[in-house]
Amino acid sequence: MRRFSVRPALTLKGRKFKGLRGWAGKPFHPPLTDIPIGAYLLGAVFDVVSAVGGDDRGWAQEFWHAGTFAFVGGAAVSVLAALTGFVDWLRSSTPGTQARRTANTHALVMVTVTVLALVDLAVRLSRYDDPSAPIAVVALSVVVAVLVSVGATYGGSLVFDYGFNVETAGDSPVWHASEADVLPGEHGPA
């Protein structure tokens, strides 16, 4: 009996391209969100470690700079995540529904995160030569980390609670006992 199925998850064969939304079953927005979430959480941790280390420790500045690099990467990908999320919202949600209201809440929190992260970056770059993370930046980084976690929770609810933008195959042959892998657009063995 086969234990692994690799090709169907990796192929784009049989999937309809949907522009900035990605391909059917392979959307762009969800994987793009992982980078800013991780970057902002790590950036906040690095800033706290730097501040605890203080101005007298050389490694404190290294953590301060690492937090800055994390925020730069997170902010760059946040812009792409926001763009693909906006297209999903525009094309996949219906006004007046709970899913739309939840998507609106998710979007508001994440846009706030992105704006705060950009403010954080502006302050960081103006104080880059400091020997450790300034307390104001640490506070802002922690706020960004908390808010990105809250926003991600709303995004997770959209996917896992509401099935928002999740394209399922219903009673698919992938859930039937078989030795054959089924690619997107196929109906499985007869």
pLDDT of 10 strictly over 90:
no
Question: Is residue 189 a part of any domain in this protein?
Answer: no
| pTM for this prediction | 0.85
Question: Is residue 121 a part of any domain in this protein?
Answer: yes
At 92-131, the pLDDT tens digits run 888 888 888 999 999 999 999 999 999 999 999 999 999 9
Separation of alpha carbons 140 and 126, rounded Å: 15
Question: Is residue 157 a part of any domain in this protein?
Answer: yes
Question: Is residue 5 a part of any domain in this protein?
Answer: no
Question: Is residue 190 a part of any domain in this protein?
Answer: no
State which residues form the domain around 138.
31-165
- 45, 149 contact by CB (below 8 A): no
Amino acid code (one letter) for 4: F
Average pLDDT over residues 34-39: 96
Question: Is residue 180 a part of any domain in this protein?
Answer: no
Tally the domains of the chain.
1
Question: Is residue 86 a part of any domain in this protein?
Answer: yes
Question: Is residue 141 a part of any domain in this protein?
Answer: yes
